[in-house]
Structure formats: C-alpha cells, structure tokens
Chains A and B, each alone.
Chain A
Amino acid sequence: MGQQFLLPDLLNEVPIGIAVLDIEGRVKLVNRAWQTITGADPESMQDLKCYLGLRCDYCFKGCPVMADKADFQTVSIDADIIDRTRAKVPIRLNISPIVSSDNVISGYIETIQDIRQVAELSSSASKAYSLGGLIGTSPEMVKIFSMVPSIAGTDSSVLITGETGTGKDVLAEAIHNASDRAGAPFIKVNCGALPETLLESELFGHVKGAFTGANEDRPGRIKLAHNGSFFLTEIGDLPLPLQVKLLSFLDDKVIHPLGSSRGFNADVRVIVATHRDLKKMVQEKTFRADLLFRLNVVHLHLPPLRERGDDILLLKNHFLMAYCDKFNKKIKGFSKKSAKILSAYRYPGNVRELSNIVEYAVNFCDRDLIGSSHLPAYLTEQDILRPVTESAHATQERMVPLEYSSAQNWDDAEKQMIMDTLLKCGGRKGEAAARLGWSRSTLWRKLKKHSING
C-alpha cells in the first residue's frame, strides 16, 4: 500500500473491543470499542494489570494470563464484566498469545464483544408478535414491526415519540440491531439527565484544558458511537445552544470537541426519542424548527398501552412468565378479579408500569393464581372498577387522588403517584422506591424533577 498507518488509529475503527497486553498481562493499548464496552478511561488503565480494567469473572476462573501460563492456545469463552455504569455485561472473550518469530510469547491480544442481545434472544421465550423486546398484536404495533426492517436498512434519522414507558428505548435498540451497524456500538444519552455544560462535553467531548477540571482528553459519546448508532432520549430537554450544535453535526457529520480546532468525522446513525410534543415546543420557541425537520425524517409513534387493546393481556402473561422464571416461582395466572382490575386500569406509566405491577404481584403471590390482594395497593385500595365517590371523611384521599384521569399529562400523574406512595410509606423514601419499583437514585432524581421536598 506504500503508506504508513498508525496501529492505534486502525484499531479504533474495529468494532470489537481490543486490548494489547504485555507478557505480564499489563494493558499497553486499548481501542475505542474496548473503552466503550468497559467504560474505562484508557489513560488510567495504561500499564495496569488487565483484570483491573476489564473486571471480568473469567480473570478469576482460569485466565491463562492471570495464571501466568507459559504456553496456551487461543481461549474463547463467554464471560461477564461489570462496566463503569455498574451494569453486568455478558461478553464473548478471546485471548491469544502474540508469538514472536523465534516462537516466544511476547504479549497477548484480548478481544471482547458485548453479547447482551444474543443472551437476551436465547433466554426469552416466545418470539411471536415481538421485535427485539417489543411485544404486541395490536394493528399499531404490527405496523411498527413491519416498518423496522426497512427503516433499519437506511441511515436516515429516526424520531420516536410516545408516552413514558411505551418502549421508545427498546424500539431504538431494535432498529440498531436490525441494521448493518448491529455489531458496532449503540450509545444512549439522556438529554434530561445532565446539566447543559456537562451535556455538551458528554456529547461532543473535550480536550485537556478546555475548561477547569478538564484534566484529560475525552472523546464524547458521539465519537464513541462511531460506525454505530447514537440514541438521544428526551430530546425535548436538549438546551437550545446544544440544539444548534447537534444540527451542525447532523449537517456535516463532523464533531468538534470543546476547545479543539480539529474535527472528527463520525459515521453515526442518529435516533432520537421524546415524550414531548415537539411541534408545540417549536411554536413556543423552545425547540428549533430546523432541528425538528432534520430529525423528523422517519417518525415512529408508539401508542399508549391503554389504546393497544388485547396487548395488555398478551403483555400481562408475558411478564408473568418472565418474572416467574426470574424469581423461580410457579404461578399459573391471574384470578378473575385481578385480571379485571388490570384490564380496567389506564396505565399512565404504560408497559413499564404493567411490568412493575406484575413483578410486584409475582413477588408477593404465594398461591397458584395472582389475586387482587397481591396487586400493588394503589390499584386495589380504591376500587378502580367503581366510579370515584367522594367521602366527607376521607380528606387525605381527596388530597391525593389515587386515580389518574386521562386529562392529566404523564408528568402530573407521575408526581401524584410519587406523592401518594410517599404518603403511604410515611415519607420513607427507601420503601417508596421499592413500592414504585424504582431504585433509590431514580426516586431521588424524580423528586428533584418534580420539586418534591421532604
């Protein structure tokens, strides 16, 4: 070829995580995909033993490098790691010795692949009426399932809308997995989760010294998604200045890290999602019209669960089987009364809420059938099958209505649900989080979001 190529730059283009280790198993070089899968900062991993960076269970279960074996063939094994977001990620691990011309081992090559999707596919039961985790037989869902393969075949931006809990994230990942980019990273960023200054650096990266505290170069999430898909959820929360920067990226596909004059050509497919009405936001001038046009190339809308008819039944049984497997329980189904309650409920939290309800019920059920007593209290304390009747004595009930009317938006309903649960738990946040099926940190974030003090 007559040209010199730099090895690290070449390795960065490979969509498989690669680490080059020395003879003692110390990290000499890692590529971008390795960094994406583990979440580790490559600079701080330099010259450290591999197990400190990879955090893989195989390190302690016979890894020949850790065991200091002088001679071994390539090892290929399914294992798991704990990444920097504290997620346990199943991986396919390969370790090969690097043998010099005089047949002496001079180091090792380690490759890792995220096999979460494969693991999910092999473990899930029926795949009928489903697509990458989305399940349904309603005409709206079948239409979406039929559209995904052709959408995945293109590189157009996709806008996914739908209420909270309808499965926007799952659909985005399904599109990525059905596309040619499936082997490359799928990077997700929640625009509502970070303050504006951090978000810019998180998306576009920064160079050392760009601002106070920028002690080292950071590649940014868009760069990490190179060759893969980049998913921006809660796009409605993206601040206006960053909307301009995102628009500029969508136009020329070049990212400029904070403080850097050098651009990076990122080959990234952009998928965005929101539960907000972007058209209304454009009218209110809180969202740029040109960005909406740029993102709205393909628009998929996920219907709320209450409009999906028999899907409630299908999902209810699907989650029952899933949680029975997970918790090793033998529950045959739902009693007539509990099934009636579940069918009549309006699910402001959509599929996620139904999943949480079934998880709760499976946990508490000690019989063959899930009865109404096993359902979360907020479904049964006030009989949702009867019209709401005001009681002169039930002042507390009046303050905290247990039903969520269709006129309320999800934000109001969520706030109400949190306050209701906190009241029931006497203000104990740990217990409230458990009842809501959230982690404590999620509850804390939502309390901040809704400005609930206490």
Chain B
Amino acid sequence: MSHKIMVALLNNEVAPRFDLATDVLLAKIKSNGEINERIIVLPQASADDLCALATSDHTDAVVCGGIDDEHYQYLKWKGIEVLDDVIGPVKKVIQAYKDEKLSCGDNFYKP
C-alpha cells in the first residue's frame, strides 16, 4: 500500500516551524519502494493552508519541527499522523519514514 507524506521545508531540511514554512515536499512512497516527490511553494506562510493541503491531498503523515497544539490536534482529528519536533535533512527523514523508523523528536544531526 502506498503512503503519502508531507514535509514542511526550509531549504533542504525539515522546517523548524510548521506555521512559517512556505515550501512543502509531498512524497508518495509506493509499495514497491519507489518514491515520487513534488515540491509546492505557497504564496505565503500559513499553517491553515498547509493543513488544508494535507487533508485535500489525503496525506498519511505530516513531518515538521515545531507545530502549535491547535494545528497538531486538528491534523490528528483529521486522521493524519503528525511527526513533529523532527530535525534533519529531508532525504534522511523520508528514508527513515520509508523504513518505518521515523518518530516525533528525531534529530538526524545528533551524533
């Protein structure tokens, strides 16, 4: 079964603030391991818009750094898994998600 994941971006790493991210990476991980990625650039930073994008795209999981409780609860309520407090380069993060090893609070820069 394929999985859809949304990563809030700051350059090539996970954005430290969900509400301030203007770029997001939408990745579709197919059951055969193939990953389709596309980056969407929003006209302005908006947590509400990102939530709407996640729900309309039927995203399974959202990955970000800090997210305020209101949007966190909203996404959870919509049945979307939120992996927050994640620090690291986006490639490593997606690989970890693919390997089912990504969890809240993961820091990929930690030695």
Contacts and interface: CB of A to CB of B under 8 A. Distances in A.
A and B from one complex:
yes
Nearest to A54: B16
Contact of A439 (B17, B69, B84, B87): B69
B69 A87 contact: yes
A439 B76 CA distance: 10
Chain B interface secondary structure, helix, strand, loop or mixed?
Answer: mixed
Interface of B: 16-17, 19-20, 65-69, 72-73, 76-77, 84-85, 87, 107, 109-110
Given A83-B66, A441-B76, 7 more contacts: A52-B65, A52-B109, A55-B16, A55-B65, A82-B68, A430-B77, A439-B73
A264 interface: no
Given A48-B87, A52-B87, A55-B66, A86 B17 contact: no
Interface in A83-104: 83-88
Interface residues of A, number: 22
A375 to B, nearest CB: 24
Nearest to A439: B73
B1 to A, nearest CB: 24
Contact of A86 (B72, B107, B109): B72
16 contacts: A44-B107, A52-B65, A55-B17, A55-B66, A57-B17, A82-B68, A84-B85, A86-B66, A86-B68, A86-B69, A86-B84, A87-B68, A87-B69, A430-B77, A433-B77, A439-B73
B58 to A, nearest CB: 17
A440 B68 contact: no
Contact of A60 (B17, B69, B72): B17
Contacts of B84: 86
A378 interface: no
Nearest to B16: A55
Residue among B17, B19, B67, B72 with the most chain A CB within 10 A?
A: B17
A82 B67 contact: yes
Interface of A: 44, 47-48, 51-52, 55, 57, 59-60, 81-88, 430, 433, 439-441
Residue among A55, A57, A85 with the most chain B CB within 10 A?
A: A55
Nearest to A441: B73
Contact of A52 (B16, B68, B73): B16
A88 B68 contact: yes
A440 B73 contact: yes
A59 B72 contact: no
A385 to B, nearest CB: 35
Nearest to A442: B73
A83 B85 CA distance: 10
Nearest to B77: A430
A91 B76 CA distance: 28
A86 B85 CA distance: 9
Contacts of B20: 57, 60
A85 B66 CA distance: 9
A441 B75 CA distance: 12
Contacts of A83: 66
A448 to B, nearest CB: 16
A119 to B, nearest CB: 15
Contacts of A84: 85
Nearest to A430: B77
B109 A48 contact: yes
A239 B18 CA distance: 38
A82 B110 CA distance: 21
